[in-house]
Amino acid sequence: MANECSICGKKTSFGIKYARRGAAKKKGGSGAKISGKTNRTFQPNIQTVRADINGTPKKVKVCTSCLKAGKIKKAARRSYKAEAAA
């Protein structure tokens, strides 16, 4: 799947969005009734990151929870220093 974390495998999940009408019983109404149901998707927060994989920098798709937890090591920035002539 395109939108999937390469570390934990988190991907799009599905659910139902409920549309309700009427005041809650707590607020003096007769209770909220469900007037409609629609399918919806829950998308994970996936970022494309340059990571160090087996010593080589590669672009991988990682969810932000894995980034925060430190499950992946970001690749070092390239240095543009001129090397000494041998």
- Let me know if residue 54 belongs to a domain: yes
78 located within any domain: no
Count the domains in the chain.
1
Cβ contact 70:51 at 8 Å: no
Q: What is the pLDDT of residues 3-19, one digit of tens each?
A: 899 999 999 999 999 99
- Identify the pLDDT of residue 70: 93
Does the pLDDT at position 1 exceed 70?
Answer: no
Residue owning tokens 């919806």: 40
Q: With respect to residue 76, please indicate whether it lies within any of the assigned structural domains.
A: no
Residue 81 located in a structural domain: no
Which pLDDT band holds residue 67 (cuts at 50, 70, 90)? very high
Number of other residues whose CB lies within 10 A of the CB of residue 6: 17
Residue 69 phi, psi (nearest 5):
-75, -10
Per-residue model confidence as pLDDT tens digits over 28-39: 999 999 999 999
Residue 52 domain flag: yes
In this prediction, residue 86 carries a pLDDT of 60
Examine residue 8 and state whether it is found in any structural domain, yes or no.
no
- pTM summary value: 0.67
Domain that holds residue 23: 13-69
